[in-house]
Structure 1
Amino acid sequence: MSVVPLDILPPSRLKALLDHFGEIDDPRVPWQVAHPLPEVLLLVVCGTICDCEDYDLIAEWGEAHLPILRRYLPYHHGVPGGRWLTILMNRIDPHLFASAFTARVRATWPQRPDFVAIDGKTSRRSHDRATGRPPLHLVSAFATTARLMLG
């Protein structure tokens, strides 16, 4: 896992990123939310950019870089765990997430033609028929012109 400092991210770009992801609906009950969706999305995006391959690594990265993350958002309850991140990210509408990501790429590089490759996979044997839980679906988006990957 490589380390990329967030100090180089200007606040205006971060605000634009959070504004684009603000279009994503939070599927949770509002009064039971300990970790607001903008905090979770910032954590996941930064962890993904820093080469974290799964949500457990993203949670570890977030714990290690919590003071830096708190410069941008409060994180009153700290960073959520990997299992919790997996559950929440699987509940987010992938089409809405893809459109928010595409809008972010277009806003960042308006002069370049925008091609975003979206790929999805379903993990075998990740379902639980006894409880009616569907299989795990993974979605990744690749901005071809910008050479930026978000999984």
Structure 2
Amino acid sequence: MSEAPLIDSFAEIEDSRCARNTLYPIDEILLLAICGAISGADDFVALEEPEGIEARLAQGISALRARDSFP
């Protein structure tokens, strides 16, 4: 099985939003939502908290590694 970036998985998702109301591409929004969920954010406001998504994502990955004993 070949590995592809996660964002490429969203290529076939149709964006039904009105073009004039679209500031960010749907694939980027979905990627941010997934990273937020992994990091423990439960809404979009949590992604804007002072510690930022990078720190929350690192904490989430560390917790997953500890739980599943990944190297």
TM-score interval (norm. to shorter): 0.5 to 0.7
Q: 2:28 & 2:7 partners in 1: Cα distance? A: 9
2:6 maps to 1:17 = yes
| Gap runs ≥5 in structure 1 | 1-12, 67-146
Structure 2, unaligned runs of 5 or more:
55-67
Structure having the larger proportion of residues in helix: 2
- Structure 1 segments, 4+ long, off by >2 Å, are 63-66
9, 12, 19: which is aligned to 1:30?
Answer: 19
Question: In terms of Rg, which structure is larger?
Answer: 1
CA distance in 2, matches of 1:16, 1:41: 13
Which of 37, 40, 48 aligns to 2:37? It is 48
2:58 corresponds to: none
Shift of 1:24: 1.5
Mapped contact 2:15–2:26 kept (Cα < 8 A): yes
Cα displacement (A) at 1:42: 1.3
Calculate the TM-score normalised by the size of structure 1: 0.29
| 8 Å CA contact retained: 2:7, 2:27 | yes
Q: Does 1:64 align with 2:32?
A: no
The CA distance in 1 between the partners of 2:39 and 2:20, in whole Å, is 32
Alpha-carbon distance between aligned partners in 1 of 2:44 and 2:20, rounded to the nearest angstrom: 24
Q: Deviations over 1:36-80 (max 9, x none)?
A: 11221111011100011223213x15x9348xxxxxxxxxxxxxx
Question: What are the residue-to-residue correspondences of 1:71-82 with 2, within 5 Å?
Answer: none
Instruction: Count the aligned residue pairs.
Output: 52
Greater strand share, structure number = 1
